[in-house]
Amino acid sequence: MSRLVVVSNRVPAPKPGGASAGGLAVALSGAMEARGGVWFGWSGDTAPHDAPEPEEARLIVKDKVTYALVDLTERDLEDYYSGFSNRMLWPLFHYRMDLTGFTRVTLGGYYRVNKLFSKLLRKMVEPDDIVWVHDYHLVPLAADLRAAGLKNRMGFYLHIPFPPPDILTVLPNHADIVRGLAAYDVIGFQTPYDVENFETYLRREKLGRRLSGHRFVVHGRAVTVMALPVGIETEAFAKTAQASEKNALVRRAEESLVGRSLIIGVDRLDYSKGIAERIQAFESFLTLDTEWRNRCTYLQITPKSRSDVAEYAQMEREVAELAGRVNGAHADLDWTPIRYVNRAIGRNALAGLYRLARVGLVTPLRDGMNLVAKEFVASQKPKDPGVLLLSRFAGAAHELDGALITNPYDIDGTAGAIARALEMPLDERADRWTRMYERIRNHDVAWWCDSFLKALEQPANDGAEVRPI
């Protein structure tokens, strides 16, 4: 088995204050700990603006994993992370052209940091290693590594949606970004819809085509393109949820509900998650279904995220105001309809809270996958499961056909679905839950990781022309 080198923007290094775990880090941690290898990326620390460029990554070895960490300067973070990655690629790939901001300076920062990563990483990669790069921050990395002479098998996985061509072509350097993708041997997307968008883009822009099955030619190079939905550690998460019934925080939450049904939402504070629309839907539900007033509590756990990006700071204010207004209008002396919590809750307690909830609200306006949806399902009591209300615009909706599928832009429709979820009889809940649990048990994170690595380890032998970039 070849050694695995994983590269991602954030690395959940084992150190105090290490970079916080987003969906990607959570998904990969278990697989990395089991298989071992190198995990390379940003340390989560910031070097001063004028600090000299590092010549080596800092290494921390824990069990089978070597964490290779790079400090980025304030300027690099501003241009590469907050700038091009999160003010251009993120909003655009989530269909929010209105929130994009493209500048040559941030674009330059994006390529600069990818070059820095390539310079440091190539010193660590051995000829038989396989390299697996994750997410939109690092698309150009393989092309930089190849330009430096690396011939390793390299794969790329996009955790966020791949938008339709009319949206992607808003990006002034879309052809360069796709040329960057062509330097990989395997490209993984979350859903068949993302692959379809990629294929349509290639055809319309005359930059490539599907050869057959998973094999594509992109910018003249043969690559494997697959839809592989990312999963969770389903059985382990289910066990954690069961054990967490006794967790002190979960007990406190349960006691505070005094018999009311719990509705839960858990999201990073991000405009793609549809939190404001969800609060509006909850308000509409309270207005339309007055018999539920005082009989349910909506807990929205929303750790702050990317607050240095202006659009995030603005939505932070908007959501807090909205939650406050709805509470002001609908609360009673002994009842607060929305509990809005702006901090991260540990995974054990979170699993217990999901298990306590009668309804899970996962209603993003657009999402690559959404692992909260899968964690909510994994956490349920098989004999008395809660109901998942899931946006049709989350990648997870392609898999979780037992959810109540909603359109988050339809506020009153979502309000109706909340009522339906709260009132759903046990046999229907159990039937829907069983279907979803089976799916996420058979397609867990180990399945995802093994399937991707299998494709990456076995060169396709189809005789398709492979031309250097």
Is 174 noted as a catalytic residue in this protein? Answer: no
Q: Which residue is nearest to ligand F6P (CB)?
A: 22
Closest approach, Cβ 297 to ligand F6P, in A, equals 27
Question: Which amino acid makes up residue 469?
Answer: I
* Strands (E) located in 80-183: 130-134, 153-157
**Distance between CA atoms of residues 99 and 174, nearest Å:** 17
Identity at 101, one-letter amino acid code = G
Strand arrangement of the beta sheet that strand 387-391 belongs to = 338-341, 296-301, 261-266, 359-362, 387-391, 404-406
* Nearest C-alpha neighbor of 106 from the set 308, 366, 316: 308
Select 206 or 343, whichever has its Cβ closest to ligand F6P: 343
d(C-alpha 94, C-alpha 351), whole Å: 27
**In the chain, what is the greatest distance between 2 CA atoms, to the nearest angstrom?**
73
Q: Which is nearer to ligand F6P, 26 or 175 (CB)?
A: 26
At position 249, the amino acid (one-letter code) is L
Q: What residues does 4 pair with on adjacent strands? A: 130
Among the listed residues 94, 137, 159, 443, the single catalytic one is 159
**Which neighbouring-strand residues pair with 209?**
217
Going from the C-alpha of 49 to that of each of 12, 119, 372, the distances in angstroms are 24, 20, 36
CB of residue 409 to ligand F6P, shortest distance in Å: 22
Work out how close the CB of 86 gets to ligand F6P at its nearest, in angstroms, rounded to a whole number.
6
Q: Which of 76, 129, 367, 444 is catalytic?
A: 367
Question: Under the rule (CB under 6 A), what is the footprint of ligand F6P?
Answer: 9-10, 22-25, 135, 159-160, 305-306
Catalytic residue status for 137 = no
Least distance CB 233 / ligand F6P (angstroms): 16
The nearer residue to ligand F6P, 23 or 91, going by C-beta atoms, is: 23
Q: How far apart are CA 7 and CA 182, in angstroms?
A: 17
Q: Pick the closer one to ligand F6P by CB: 159 or 278.
A: 159
| Closer Cβ to ligand F6P, 283 or 367, answer by number | 367
Q: How far apart are CA 85 and CA 109, in angstroms?
A: 10
Nearest approach in angstroms of CB 312 to ligand F6P is 10
Q: Which residues are catalytic?
A: 159, 367
